[in-house]
Amino acid sequence: MGEAGLEALTANRPQATGRPRCAARRRDLRNGLLFISPWIVGFGGLLLYPISASLYYSFCEYSVLQPAVWVGPANYGELMRDEVFWKALYNTLFYAAFALPLGLLVSLALALLLNTGVRGMTVFRTVFFLPALVPMVALAVIWLWVLNGDKGVLNYFLSSLHLQGPPWLTDPSWAKPALIMMSLWGVGQAVVIYLASLQDVPVQLYEAADLDGASWWHKMWHVTFPMISPVILFNLIMGIIGSLQFFAVPYVISPTGAPARSIYFLTMYLYDSAFSYLRMGYACAMAWILFVIILILTLLALKVSAKRVYYGGA
C-alpha cells in the first residue's frame, strides 16, 4: 500500500469513529432532555412565563377582564406619586428593620443555649420548632386573641403584675411593635439550623483556644461566629426575603391595615390593587419594585459579608 493509500485510510478513520460518537451524544442529549422535560415545562409555565408576563403587564393598563393596553412607564410614575404606596413601603421597611435583626439575635441566642449540653435538648428543639409549623392564618387568629386590648391573654398577665397593657392592635403606636413581637414566635426554624451548624464546629478549635487562655467571648468571636458565618448569612438572606414579603398575618388581623394603615404592608397593597381594584398592571409594577428592593438588599448583604464569611477549605 502506497503513501497515498495510508493517507486516505487515516483521513477516513476519524469520520468512521466520529459518526457513532455523534449519534451517541445526540441520543444522550435527547434522553437527558426527556428526563428533565417535566422540570422544563414546570419552569417555563409556572415560573418563566409568569415573570415575563408580569414585567410586560407592569407597563400596561390591565384589568384582567379587558385586554392589556400599553402605557409605558406610567404605572411606575403613578407609584412615585401614590401616598398609599409610600405608606405601605415605609411600614414594610420599618417592620423588616426591627423584625429581621431581632429574629436573628433571638434565634442565635436560643441555639447557643441549647448547644450547652442541656438535658432534654431534643424536647426543647422540638418545642421551639413547633410554632414554625403552625399555619399563618391560625397563627394570626391566636395572636388576635393574645393581643386583644380588653380581654387578651397578654394584657391579663400584665394586669396581674399591676401593669396596664396597651391596646396592641388598635393603637397606631403599638400595632407595628406588636407584629414585630409576634414575628419572634416563628424563630424555631432558624434555631434548628443554627444548632446544627454549632454542633459541626470542630471541638479541636475550642480546645486550642482553651490552651491559649481564651475567654468565653473570645472563643465566640474568633471560633464560633466565623465557623457558623455561612449559616448566619443564609438566615439573613432568607430573613430579608421573608420580612419584605410579610402578608398573611397582617392581612388576617386587619385587611385594611387599620388602625390608620399602620400595619398596611406593601404586599397587602399589591394584593388589593390586583384583586380588589382590578389594576393588575399597577400591581405588577409594585411587585417589580419590591423585587428590586429585595435584590439590592440581598446583593448588599452578600457584598458586605464577602470578606467576613468563612467557608471551610476556601
What are the pLDDT digits (tens) for 144-166? 999 998 889 999 999 999 999 89
H and E: helices and strands count for the chain: 16, 2
pLDDT digits (tens, 9 = 90+) for 212-242: 899 999 999 999 999 999 999 999 999 999 9
The average confidence (pLDDT) of the chain is: 89
Q: Are residues 128 and 205 in the same domain?
A: yes
* 15 pLDDT more than 70: no
Q: Are residues 40 and 102 in the same domain?
A: no
Q: Are residues 162 and 227 in the same domain?
A: yes
Domain that residue 104 falls in: 77-304
46: Cβ contacts below 8 Å, ≥ 6 apart:
none
CB count within 10 Å of CB 268 equals 23
* 314 pLDDT more than 60: no
pLDDT digits (tens, 9 = 90+) for 252-280: 999 999 889 999 999 999 999 999 999 99
* 59 pLDDT more than 90: yes
* 1 pLDDT more than 70: no
Q: Are residues 287 and 251 in the same domain?
A: yes
Q: Are residues 50 and 126 in the same domain?
A: no
pLDDT at position 186 is: 86
Q: What is the CA radius of gyration of the chain?
A: 28
CB count within 10 Å of CB 276 equals 11
* 14 pLDDT more than 80: no
Number of domains observed in the structure of the chain: 2
Q: Are residues 163 and 200 in the same domain?
A: yes
Measured distance CA(158)–CA(168) in Å, rounded: 13
Q: Which three cell numbers stand for residue 184?
A: 419572634
Specify if 68 maps to a domain. Answer: no
Give DSSP secondary structure letters for 214-237: --HHHHIIIIIHHHTHHHHHHHHH
Q: Are residues 185 and 279 in the same domain?
A: yes
